[in-house]
Amino acid sequence: MPDTHRPLGTRHRPSVLVTGAAGNLGREAVDRLRARGARVRRLVRRPTGPHSTAESVVGDLTDPTTFRSALLGVDAVLLIWPLLDSAPAHDLIAELAAAAPRVVYTSSTAMDDEAARQSDPIVQVHADMELLLRDAGLRPVVLRSDTLASNTRGWAAQLRAGDVIEGPDVARTAVVDERDVADAAVSVLLAPCRDRLAPGPYVLTGPEVLDRAGQVARLGAALRRPLRFRSLPAGLARSRMLADGRPERLVEALLAASVHRPESDRTTDHVERLTGRPAGTFERWAADHAAEFG
């Protein structure tokens, strides 16, 4: 497919659509795009307040009509897919193919390109989405990120009650700061056409491989509290997450990931390749966000 989007050069103020803009990664990307002078359009499910600093389109990723409107005049799209099903993406990707913007898709480092099926439903959706985008001729730049440090925010309620974090254990992984992933995405989204990067995938990791207990210990150091992690068996973890109000399908996907996703000792320099600086540590993330857990 020819590269038909408008050039992202210095004379043109680029327009970028961000899906999943209300999430941890999406918010960071929106802030960085605005800081670099881009016109930002957010696709959100609920109206934003009157003081929002970015244009918003209210709609759902499963509604191709809304998505078509959101794409009008857009040079590039940061596609963050939050659903546990790729089926609704078929019509959305058809709209992307018709509009032909630059596309950056955020995926998962847990992907196994040689496997017929992925380890768990979350990774399988990313594999399906990558295939759909490629088959549509979009040549997306794929950023496969490791476990985001911002997932730690899910522990806030437990930390208000005590010093023990309980939940299903997960495989060791090189936890990556979502701010680094956002910086990498923005670098690709705003790169001039002459500097257009290969589609990747780029594997975005932090510099240190951590298990759940290691993350909890480092967060405890930042908070100056003796935190510890207690692994729960699947049945008890399921009942706890359901009681917290998490959707059943998400709970089952998270448990499948905790059981089946393999450990990874891989770290890369891909954050530095895309941003010009090394990836930050989880310790830095914890120190920067300690006030959120106070």
Residue 283 pLDDT > 80: yes
Examine residue 91 and state whether it is found in any structural domain, yes or no. yes
Phi, psi for 158 (deg, rounded to 5): -65, -35
CA-closest candidate to residue 99, choices 66, 81, 80, 74: 74
pLDDT at residue 11, as a whole number: 58
Examine residue 290 and state whether it is found in any structural domain, yes or no. no
Total residues found in the chain within this entry: 294
Place of tokens 């951590």: 210
**What's 22's domain CATH number?**
3.40.50.720
> CA end-to-end span of the chain, whole Å?
51
Number of domains in the chain: 1
Residue 160 pLDDT > 60: yes
Examine residue 29 and state whether it is found in any structural domain, yes or no. yes
Please state the pTM of the whole predicted model. Answer: 0.92
Examine residue 231 and state whether it is found in any structural domain, yes or no. no
* % the chain with pLDDT above 90: 86
Examine residue 32 and state whether it is found in any structural domain, yes or no. yes
Examine residue 64 and state whether it is found in any structural domain, yes or no. yes
pLDDT at residue 54, as a whole number: 75
pLDDT digits (tens, 9 = 90+) for 7-61: 454 457 899 999 999 999 999 999 999 999 999 999 988 776 554 567 889 988 9
Residue 171 pLDDT > 60: yes
- Could you tell me the pLDDT band of residue 182, with boundaries at 50, 70 and 90? very high
Place of tokens 């696709």: 43
Residue 6 pLDDT > 50: no
Average pLDDT, the chain: 92
152-160 average pLDDT score: 94
pLDDT at residue 13, as a whole number: 87
- Cα gap 60→20, rounded to integer Å: 10
Examine residue 7 and state whether it is found in any structural domain, yes or no. no
43, 57 Cβ separation under 8 angstroms: yes
Beta-strand runs (E) in the chain: 15-19, 39-44, 55-58, 76-79, 102-108, 141-145, 164-167, 202-204, 228-231
Q: Which domain holds residue 105?
A: 15-146+178-204+266-279
pLDDT at residue 261, as a whole number: 93
pLDDT digits (tens, 9 = 90+) for 229-241: 999 999 999 999 9
pLDDT at residue 5, as a whole number: 44
Sign of CA dihedral 86, 92, 96, 97: positive
Examine residue 253 and state whether it is found in any structural domain, yes or no. no
pLDDT at residue 9, as a whole number: 47
Amino acid at the residue 1: M
pLDDT digits (tens, 9 = 90+) for 195-213: 567 778 999 999 999 999 9
Amino acid at the residue 256: A
Distances (CA, A) of 64 to 89, 90, 165: 9, 9, 40
